Amino acid sequence: MEEQKKKRLVGFALILTASLLNGVIPSFTQKILALGLSLETILTSRYLMGAALIWIYIFAKGKTFRVEKSNIAYMLALGFMLFVCTSSLGESYKYLPGAVAVIIGFSYVVIVVVIEILVGREKVETKRVFCLLLAVAGLGIVIWPMGDMPHLRALGILFALLGAFFYAMQTLGIGSKRMKDIQAEVITGYMNLFIFGANLARCLLAGKPVFPDTMEQWGWIFVIGAGSAFIAPLFFCMAVKKLGGSDTALTNTTEPVFAYFAGILIMGDKLSWNATLGGILVVSSVFLLNLPKRKKKDLRLFQW
């Protein structure tokens, strides 16, 4: 029991760190867009940095990266899902405030939890369902006063929802049995290879520069590349392996809270009462989810 508790605490710390690093990406991306870089250039450079760092790490640590061809194909498919997710969310930043795009994208949590319950990977526990409803309510409150968002656009919402769907599929894929014995670093490495290659092709087809022009632009690219394309996905994979897909997804609902406050500090967004209240509900759901279980048998919502 003590070992299991320690495993959950480590997973909790990993996903919170990943949430923080991913939470600042919308504001950082909007900052770089304002410096004159295209989204295609940002994503290509970002994942070049991420792929280089993760593979240097794999070789330096002597990780076993030789796996069955079917598993390589599977990991590249996960990379495709993450490519569509990041591209869609990146497009949504053009039409929505960064924090709002992240919040809408977090409908992926509902998809993950519902699918895992339907396939029998997770049980319908009172606490899990309550935490899910609490998190969804918190995210809903954050975006409730729609009239205060003049830049809200239907196209941005569609991009964010598309990103949410593919993020959910990627999360479920990482948590599958066939990935159980493959190290998180290796999964991240193969996914980053696909994402970099796909973004490079997209960049060339769009006729955009592959690399930034100035040192200031390179500085921002290094920050988001190391943070969101190396550390964050690595920690996310590790967390899924320790917590499972649904608990990782629920804990990851702190990301919009980090995104919101990053918007205040970096982009000068204004603080509102609904964002504060919604953030409190989201953090509360994460806290409740990670409370140690009682020794007595869990109360189920349904008795079969």
Q: Does residue 16 lie in a domain region?
A: no
d(CA 185, CA 56) in angstroms, rounded, equals 11
- What pLDDT was estimated at residue 293? 59
Q: Does residue 164 lie in a domain region?
A: yes
Verdict on whether the full-model pTM lies above 0.85: no
- What pLDDT was estimated at residue 229? 83
- What pLDDT was estimated at residue 267? 75
CA angle 78, 81, 85 (to 5 degrees): 140
CB-based burial, 5-35: b 16+ in 10 Å, e otherwise:
eeebeebbebbbbbbbbbbbbbbbbbbbbee
Q: Which residue has the higher pLDDT, 39 or 269?
A: 39
Q: How is residue 301 written in tokens? A: 């919502």
Q: Does residue 7 lie in a domain region?
A: no
**Is the pLDDT at 172 greater than 50, yes or no?**
yes
Cβ–Cβ under 8 Å, residues 291 and 131: no
- What pLDDT was estimated at residue 289? 67
Average the pLDDT over 153-180 and give the result.
85
- What pLDDT was estimated at residue 304? 31
**Is the pLDDT at 146 greater than 70, yes or no?**
no
| Backbone torsion region of residue 63, taken as left when φ is above 0, otherwise alpha when ψ lies between -120 and 50, otherwise beta | beta
Q: Which residue has the higher pLDDT, 304 or 159?
A: 159
Picking from 245, 275, 248, the residue whose alpha carbon sits closest to that of residue 103 is 275
Q: H/E/C letters for each residue in the chain?
A: CHHHHHHHHHHHHHHHHHHHHHHCHHHHHHHHHHCCCCHHHHHHHHHHHHHHHHHHHHHHCCCCCCCCHHHHHHHHHHHHHHHHHHHHHHHHCCCCCHHHHHHHHCCHHHHHHHHHHHCCCCCCEHHHHHHHHHHHHHHHHHCCCHHHCCCCCHHHHHHHHHHHHHHHHHHHHHCCHHHCCCCHHHHHHHHHHHHHHHHHHHHHHHCCCCCCCCHHHHHHHHHHHHHHHHHHHHHHHHHHHHHCHHHHHHHHHHHHHHHHHHHHHHHCCCCCHHHHHHHHHHHHHHHHHCCCCCCCCCCECCCC
d(CA 77, CA 96) in angstroms, rounded, equals 28
- What pLDDT was estimated at residue 303? 35
Mean pLDDT of the chain: 81
Quick count: other Cβ atoms within 10 Å of Cβ 219?
A: 11
Q: Which residue has the higher pLDDT, 14 or 275?
A: 14
Q: Does residue 186 lie in a domain region?
A: yes
Please give the tally of structural domains in the chain: 1
Which structural domain range is residue 238 located in? 22-289
Least trusted range by pLDDT, from 12-21, 79-88, 93-102, 184-193: 93-102
- What pLDDT was estimated at residue 142? 65
- What pLDDT was estimated at residue 302? 36
Q: Does residue 302 lie in a domain region?
A: no
**Is the pLDDT at 246 greater than 80, yes or no?**
no
**Is the pLDDT at 247 greater than 90, yes or no?**
no
Q: Which residue has the higher pLDDT, 100 or 168?
A: 168
- Per-residue pLDDT of 208-234, as tens digits, reads 998 888 888 888 888 888 888 888 888
State the pLDDT confidence band at 298, using cuts at 50, 70 and 90: very low
Q: Does residue 304 lie in a domain region?
A: no
